[in-house]
Chain A
């Protein structure tokens, strides 16, 4: 079974500071991992994804994430926060790599609200 734990429902940083959003996963098969961002009253936008290629994945808006199998983690980072980064961030794992699955169901973490202070 697949599941995701996001540590910290709220993270606050100052503009220009490092952003670190934590995500740990549990998967019975090699996982596909995703980070989505959601701005108020909008849908989810794909930030980046890991699909068993490079372990360091670069996404949009300067974000990147590193897949660490030994730690079952996929933490999201950005070197310098911007005010426009304030949003809800969701980590998700897919069962798409499961040979028995035909549907690529997404399992979401509970989300982390990022606040950026000026």
Chain B
């Protein structure tokens, strides 16, 4: 099973709202990733958690706040977003296996900021 789940599937929020995106995997993977993808573009890495510790923050604005409560869960807390933050937000996980370290992606959350 290589399933990564994300909720919600769609989210519409105003610029003053606070919301959270959730990601879950039960494959025993030890690394989890958040990506942002704009239309017709490749995914852009935002954050990486490795063994539940934040390992990479790609200079993402502080209105995006990641959280990794345990090895299976990854959240992305959103506050005071801008319309240009509207995008598909993808979560991925990887086993941190020395041989392949393949990343498996979830279905994404389509975020619209009004």
Task: Give residues in A with beta carbon < 8 Å to B.
Answer: 32, 34, 36, 41-46, 49, 51, 88, 90, 94, 96, 102-106, 108-111, 113
Contact = CB atoms under 8 A, between A and B. Distances in A.
Contact of B107 (A36, A42, A90, A110): A42
Given A32-B100, A46-B102, A108-B42, A103 B55 contact: yes
Contacts of A41: 88, 108, 110
A93 B55 CA distance: 19
A87 to B, nearest CB: 13
Contact of A44 (B56, B90, B100): B90
B48 A45 contact: no
Given A43-B105, A43-B108, A103 B100 contact: no
Nearest to A51: B100
B50 interface: yes
Nearest to A104: B101
> Size range of the interface on B?
20 to 34
Interface in B92-106: 92, 94, 96, 99-106
Closest CB pairs A-B (n = 3): A104-B101, A108-B42, A96-B101
Given A49-B100, A104-B101, A42 B108 contact: yes
B45 A106 contact: yes
A104 B105 contact: no
Given A32-B101, A41-B110, A43-B107, A103 B42 contact: no
B68 interface: no
Contacts of B41: 110-111
Interface string B24-54: 0000000100000000111101001010000
Nearest to B49: A103
Contacts of B104: 46
Contact of A94 (B48, B101, B106): B101
A49 B45 CA distance: 20
Contact of B102 (A34, A88, A90, A111): A34
Give the residue among A44, A49, A90 with the most B Cβ atoms within 10 A: A44
Contact of B106 (A43, A102, A105): A43
A43 B102 contact: no
